[in-house]
Structure 1
Amino acid sequence: MEVFKSFRLDILINAAPLLLEGLQNTVQISCLSFLVALVFGVAVGVARAEILWARRILSPYVEVFRGTPLLIQLFFLYYGLPSVGIKMSSGTAAVLGLGLNGGAYISEIVRGSMASVEKGQLDAARALGFTWLQSMVHVIGPQALRVAVPPLVNAFSALLKESSLVSVLAITELTRMSQLIYTRTFRAFEVYLAVGALYFVLTAVVSAVSRRLEKRYYVGGRMG
C-alpha cells in the first residue's frame, strides 16, 4: 500500500526520546491523580454508604463531577479559579482535576462494594464489641476490597486515557509531546500511530492486571 511505502521510520527513531519523556510524564500524572482519586473516592464512598447526612452533602460533588465534561473541569480549575484569586500551576490543576473527577467514580465503586457485604455482618461485629471503625477495617473493608479491586484497576485504565486531556494545559505529557513533534515534522501518520500504540500498550498492561485480579478473587461464581 502507498501509505506504508512512504512510512518514515526515521521520524519515530528521532522522536523516540521525546515520546518516552512524554510517556513518563503521562504515567506520573496518572499515578498521582489516581492517588488523589483514591483518597477522595474512598472517603466519599464510605461516608455516603454509612452516614445519612454525609450522603446528602456529598451527593452534589459526585453528580457534578460525573455529569460534566472533564475538559471543562480542567479549564475551570486552571483558567476559571484565578479570576476569584485561586491560582495553581498547570500540573497541580491537572492532578487535582483528574483526581476529583476520578474520585467521583471511585466513590460509587466503593459504595457499591460496601453494599455487597451483608448488612448483618456489621451488626455481628458490633455485637462482638467492635467499634464502627474496627468493624470497617477488620470485617467490612476486606470483603468490600475483594469486590472493588477489579473495577478500581479499570478506573485507573480510564484515567490513564483521560490524562491526554491535560495537554490543553500545556503539560508535556504524551499527547502534548506528539503535537510538538508533529509541528516539527509534519508527519501526522507516523507520530499519532506511535502515540496510539503507546497508549494501547499502557492500557493493555492495566487490563492484563485487571483480568489477573478478577481470576484471583473470583471464587465459586462470585467475588470472594
Structure 2
Amino acid sequence: MEEFRFGILHDAAPLILEGLRVTVYVSLLSFALALVIGVAVGILRSKSPRMRAVFSPYVELFRGTPLLIQLFFIYYGLPTMGLTLDSFSAGVLGLGLNGGAYISEIIRGALLSVDKGQQDAAFSFGFSWLQSMTYVILPQAVSVALPPLVSSFSALLKESSLVSVLAITELTRVSQLIYTRTFRALEVYLAIGVLYFLMTWFVARLSKRLERKYRVSGRIP
C-alpha cells in the first residue's frame, strides 16, 4: 500500500482554497436566486388554481429532469436560440432555476400550513391580499419553511459540483485539475470530499438548531 502523500495537498492548497471560495460563492448566488424565484412562485401557486396551473409546468419540468441536462441546455442549447451566457452565469442560473422549483414547494406547503382563518381575520380588518400575506401569513409560514430551506441550501451546495462540467473552477473542477497533474486520486478526492462534508455538516447542524427553535405547528413560537 502506497504512503499517503500530504505534500500534494500542501502544494495544491492555494488552488483548493480558490476552488472552495468559488464553490461557496456560486452556491450563495444560486441560492439567493432560487429563494427569490421559489418564494414568488410558491406564493403565486398558493393564491389560486389558475396561478397554480400557470407555474406548475416550470416546477414539474425542473423537478422532473436532471440538473446536469438543465445546465447543458442553458449553456449549450440557449445560444442556438440567440441567448448566450458565460459559464459562470449559466451555472448560477441553472442552479437557481432548479433550486427555485423545489423551494417553491417548500414555500407553498408552509403557506398552506397556516390556518385559513388567519387570512380571513386579516381581511376582516380591511387588509388587502398583499397586506395579509406580508404582515400575517408569511411571518407564520417562515417559521415552518426555515429548516427545510436550510436543508435545500445544503443540497444545492453539493449539487454545485455539477457546474464543473461548464469549466467553472470550483472544488470538483479543481480536484480534476490536480489529479491530471499528480495522478494521485486518493489524496485529491479524499481532501475534496472532506471539504464538501464539512460544509454540508455545518449547514446540517444549523438546520437542526433551527428545527429545535421553530418546532411549531404553523405558528410563530
What band does the TM-score fall into relative to the shorter chain?
Answer: over 0.9
Query: TM-score, normalised to structure 2's length?
Result: 0.97
Q: In 2, distance between residues paired with 1:189 and 1:70?
A: 27
Is 2:120 the partner of 1:123?
yes
**Distance apart, 1:35 and its partner CA:** 0.5
The match for 1:40 among 20, 37, 40 is: 37
Percent identity between matched residues is: 67
Gaps of 5+ in 2: none
Q: In 2, distance between residues paired with 1:59 and 1:215?
A: 32
Q: In 2, distance between residues paired with 1:147 and 1:133?
A: 20
For 2:105, the aligned partner's letter is E
For 2:72, the aligned partner's letter is F
Query: TM-score, normalised to structure 1's length?
Result: 0.96
**Distance apart, 1:220 and its partner CA:** 8.4
**Distance apart, 1:142 and its partner CA:** 0.6
In structure 2, the residue corresponding to 1:87 is in which secondary structure? coil
**Distance apart, 1:52 and its partner CA:** 2.4
What's the counterpart of residue 30 of structure 1?
Answer: 27
Q: CA-to-partner distance for each residue in 1:180-220, whole Å, 9 max, x for gaps?
A: 00011110000000000000000011011101111111258
Gaps of 5+ in 1: none
**Distance apart, 1:221 and its partner CA:** 11
What's the counterpart of residue 148 of structure 2?
Answer: 151
Q: In 1, distance between residues paired with 2:48 and 2:11?
A: 56
Is 2:75 the partner of 1:87?
no
Q: In 2, distance between residues paired with 1:79 and 1:138?
A: 43
- Map 1:1-224 onto structure 2 (within 5 A): 2-3=1-2, 6-219=3-216, 224=221
Contact between 2:38 and 2:103, CA under 8 Å: does it hold in 1? Answer: yes
- Give the total of aligned pairs: 221
Could you say if the C-alpha distance between residues 152 and 221 of structure 1 is closer, same or farther in structure 2, counting changes exceeding 3 Å? closer
Q: In 2, distance between residues paired with 1:47 and 1:83?
A: 31
Contact between 2:30 and 2:92, CA under 8 Å: does it hold in 1? Answer: yes
Q: CA-to-partner distance for each residue in 1:143-181, whole Å, 9 max, x for gaps?
A: 100000000000000000000000000000000011000
Q: In 2, distance between residues paired with 1:144 and 1:213?
A: 14
4+ residue runs of structure 1 moved beyond 3 angstroms?
219-224
